[in-house]
Structure 1
Amino acid sequence: MMQRDTFAVLWRLAIRHPESSVKMIPMEEIFDDERTDDDLWYKDYMPNFQFLPKDRLPSGAKGGITYTTIVLDPGIFLPWLKRNLESSGVDFKRMTLHSLSDAYHLGHDILINATGAGPIYLDDIQDDNMELLKGQIMIIKSDYKKCFMRDDGKNYTYVIPRLDGKIVRRIHRSLPERFSIDLSDYDIVGHNVCIRPYRSSGMRIENEVKDGQKIVHAYGTSCIVRTPLIGTIEG
């Protein structure tokens, strides 16, 4: 399973390479609807997994769980990963592609299509299931030391610890004792606003031979939680 494989690799990085920014951290998930064993398929794999007692649930919640997970800072992790790949002989090239066939001349054995929003625009893909979603987060200084996520069926509210702050989104309703509704109470580090690619039908993991190229399509992963980046490659 791709998510499980990704978690195992990142767990090892947290132990062996803390400079990568990957670290272990407690996680709480709160649900506003009922969850089945199929929904919680990961309960047998996550360290320290437990169901939260009802007296620890915020108002309106139907259930909750806690376990140990990992967190990383992309601004540190991606440059670290790039340096390690380059030291292993990987060559990075920057270019503009209007279609996957534009890469044919590079002389590769396999082309991996992990182009983010690219499948919307690439002439030989044009995936109608892809769309762009707006994302906005605030980074603040806080002494809150764990991850928190609440799913109300439509939106995710979450806190993700980073190096010098926390990502906070619609969190006052769930953790009012920790996070004020008054912005003047926060030491704001910064804001991030972005456009995120999203695939309504889920990930596309597929082999294809097209215009003489062997292609592995690997895009459409979730941008919120449990992104199976490494497991996608190994799968």
Structure 2
Amino acid sequence: MGIDPSGDVIVVGGGVIGLTTAVVLAESGRRVRVWTREPAERTTSAVAGALWWPHLIRPKALARHWALQSLSVYEELAARPEETGVRMVEGVLGESRLDEQGSWAAARVPGMRASTAEEYAGTGLWARLPLLDMPVHLRWLRERFLRADGAVEVRLVTDLAEVAAPVVVNCTGLGARELVPDKAVRPVRGQLVIVENPGVTTWLASTDSDTGASTYFFPHADRLVLGGTADEDNWSLTPDPEVAAEIVKRCAALRPEIAEARVLGHRVGLRPVRDTVRLEREPLPDGRVLVHNYGHGGAGVTVAWGCAREAAALASR
């Protein structure tokens, strides 16, 4: 198989991991193309609630490292929220204590403290964290990539061996299950309800200690994103009306004004969960290099920039 001379890196996958990786590679001087099965606005990333926080991602030490690199980038991008889709927003992490987070949290997240009874009825942490408007952010990533002379092609890849470039970066998320193949990647279904924002300005993320049900709401100027679910090995992309009603009910129990908010739409996404993120270099027999960067679950936004930098370094060795 001949190597395509028109570009030296092809990134397969156009979600937040793929686009961020492509940006880092292109801005380092590499010639980069992104091959994506569907436009960014139709990827799982576009559905994400998109609050930065290193949660349920392993290996923990590396994930924290990647997350803190990403935090620094988002803090800079938050200076231009209308352009980048990134804002620093205050809210409560329910069922969390500062002494459980490790020294990094208090040192790196300014103003993190125990929440008051007025802010949250249970034990929680008040924090100011990046919150991303994903359609805006994905559009900004794509435009930044194109300004770095990158190119995006909508095309289906059924075999990584068919991707004729000296360096291929696999950012296919759940697609890696069949494409690698890697059966360790599995879907965890998340359902969201989008409502008109009734004036909520802070976010909240809570987990019921008895049922394990996750409840969260994330405010944007024109809408409020309500969640959520975590249905393992569920491939359905069809919103369930009963689940949607339960999500609204749980959120309204925390903020009563949500009960009367007009529903604007429903979203479903499949998180590409793996026991540990796969971020590694694989030399191929024909001399090409394959770099894997997938398995981030629901924390893709949280670790995107840290993982992108490591993937770019692996691609350049």
| Interval containing the TM-score (normalised by the shorter chain) | 0.7 to 0.9
Q: Tell me which moved more, 135-144 or 189-198.
A: 189-198
Q: Percent identity?
A: 22
> Shift of residue 135 of structure 1?
1.8
Show the counterpart of 1:147.
203
Show the counterpart of 1:157.
215
Show the counterpart of 2:187.
132
Show the counterpart of 2:109.
46
Contact residue 47 and residue 69 of structure 1 kept, 8 A: no
Contact residue 3 and residue 227 of structure 1 kept, 8 A: yes
Residue 45 of structure 1 aligns with an amino acid whose one-letter code is R
Matched, 1:193 2:268: yes
Q: Distance in 1 between the 2:97 and 2:257 partners?
A: 28
> Shift of residue 37 of structure 1?
3.4
Q: Tell me which moved more, 36-45 or 21-30.
A: 36-45
> Shift of residue 10 of structure 1?
1.1
> Shift of residue 71 of structure 1?
1.2
> Shift of residue 178 of structure 1?
1.9
Contact residue 23 and residue 72 of structure 1 kept, 8 A: yes
Q: Distance in 1 between the 2:277 and 2:84 partners?
A: 26
CA pair 70-115 structure 1, distance change in 2 beyond 3 A:
same
SS at structure 1 position matched to 2:154: coil
Matched, 1:85 2:145: yes
SS at structure 2 position matched to 1:203: strand
Q: Tell me which moved more, 156-165 or 64-73.
A: 156-165
Residue 253 of structure 2 aligns with an amino acid whose one-letter code is P
Superposed CA deviations along residues 2-47 of structure 1, whole A, max 9, x for unmatched, are 000111101101114641121111021011x777535674332112
**What is the TM-score of this pair, normalised by structure 1?**
0.83
SS at structure 1 position matched to 2:308: helix
Instruction: Compare the two structures and name the one with the higher helix fraction.
Output: 2
Matched, 1:178 2:255: yes
SS at structure 2 position matched to 1:158: strand
Show the counterpart of 1:204.
278
Matched, 1:102 2:162: yes
Q: Distance in 2 between the 1:82 and 1:193 partners?
A: 23
SS at structure 2 position matched to 1:145: coil
Q: Distance in 2 between the 1:94 and 1:72 partners?
A: 24
SS at structure 2 position matched to 1:176: helix
Gaps spanning 5+ residues in structure 1: where?
none
Q: Distance in 2 between the 1:205 and 1:91 partners?
A: 23
Gaps spanning 5+ residues in structure 2: where?
1-64, 228-246, 311-317
Show the counterpart of 2:100.
37
**What is the TM-score of this pair, normalised by structure 2?**
0.63
Contact residue 26 and residue 68 of structure 1 kept, 8 A: yes
Superposed CA deviations along residues 193-230 of structure 1, whole A, max 9, x for unmatched, are 2333222x121111211243212211111325862111
Aligned pairs, number: 223
> Shift of residue 98 of structure 1?
1.7
